[in-house]
Amino acid sequence: MREFGFVRPLRRGAALAVAAVLAASALAGCDDSEGAASAPKPAQSSRKPAPRPEPVWDTSPNSVAAVGDSITRGFDACSVLADCPEASWATGTDPAVRSLAVRLLGKQAAAKRSWNFANSGARMADLPEQMERAAAESPDLVTVLVGANDVCRASVDAMTPVAEFRRDFAESLRTLRAERPKAQVYVASVPDLKQLWSQGKGSAMAKQVWSLGICPTMLGEPDALDARSTERRDAAYERVVAYNEALAEVCAKDERCRYDDGAVFDYRFGTGQLSRWDFFHPGKSGQARLAELAFRRVTAG
């Protein structure tokens, strides 16, 4: 009886021990399985990616206003001593030119959403008023080409001082910003007037028109090569260079202003691209080249 009584508890204990081991194994297996299935996943942010900031410069402006002088008015491009705004590099509609406005907007849209406030004979001092008129139209882009008349004075002493030129240009930008803080500005460099003189001085007709008073500091006495005449032309050339430096410096301080980096100044206008009446202002072919240079700069990424 003792043996039976002793053996029975052992079997029960063994069974309990086996059961405990199996249960522990089962629990361990379940824990491992559940642990593998329910391992924490990397946290996922519910935030949406931050939107990319809009570029400061829009390569596809929806409207164009032009300010400046006789070049932007298309002076002498169609007839002698007369404006021809339809041939303007900036806003004209002449298909031979394909103005900047036409290239950007298309011909029909350009006729409705472009404005030309340039005036023949204008100097930099006139630009703030022109810019105010341009701002009233709320343009996306304003083109600036002015400075030749600041050089083309009766004498070297009468040329606009560089400090005044810079001041008036800065004021023009402030005038625009007061009304149109996000309007873009394309600034063309002042052309190399000395190169234009060298191109036209061989034409008798050009010299006859120049004698009427077109740019005396550069074109006066076009055949004279004496020291005084050479110094006069050199002074006019150096003033153009200084004006362009001022344009670049002021424009660089405005994040929505693009200077052409001297593209117009560097362009070598041939006689076929100058007005056949004065060999000084751009003809239609020259206006087309100005439009092309502007379009490249405005649409550059």
CB atoms within 10 A of CB 172: 26
pLDDT of 152 strictly over 50? yes
Average pLDDT estimate for 213-227: 95
- pLDDT of residue 179 exceeding 60, the answer is yes
More confident residue, 205 or 121: 121
Q: Which two tokens stand for residue 120?
A: 């023949």
Residue 162 lies in a domain: yes
In this predicted structure, the answer to whether residue 31 has a pLDDT above a threshold of 60 is: no
Whether residue 56 lies inside any domain: the answer is no
Q: Write the pLDDT tens digit of every residue in 264-291.
A: 999 999 989 999 988 999 999 999 999 9
Residue at 46 is within a domain = no
Q: For 124-135, what is the mean pLDDT?
A: 98
Task: Check which CATH number belongs to the domain holding 258 and give it.
Answer: 3.40.50.1110
What kind and span of H or E run contains 10? Answer: helix 2-37
| pLDDT tens-digit readout, 53-97 | 666 899 999 999 999 999 999 999 999 889 999 999 999 999 999
Q: Write out the two tokens for 286.
A: 């020259």
Query: What are 141's strand-pairing partners?
Result: 64, 184
Residue 121 lies in a domain: yes
Q: Is residue 82 part of a domain?
A: yes
Kindly tell me if the per-residue pLDDT of 13 is higher than 50. no
Where on the phi/psi map is residue 220: left (φ > 0), alpha (ψ -120 to 50), or beta? beta
> Can you tell me the distance from the alpha carbon of 222 to that of 246, in angstroms, rounded to the nearest whole number?
28
The count of domains in the chain is 1
Mean per-residue pLDDT, 3-11? 40
Residue 227 reports pLDDT greater than 80: yes
Round to whole Å and give the CA distance between 149 and 57: 30
User: Would residue 269 count as lying in a domain?
Assistant: yes
* Structural domain range at position 85: 64-298
pLDDT, residue 12, reads 46
In a 13 Å sphere around the CA of 163, the CA atoms on its Cβ side amount to 0
Q: What is the predicted pLDDT for the residue at 209?
A: 87
Average pLDDT over residues 118-122: 97
* Structural domain contains residue 116: yes
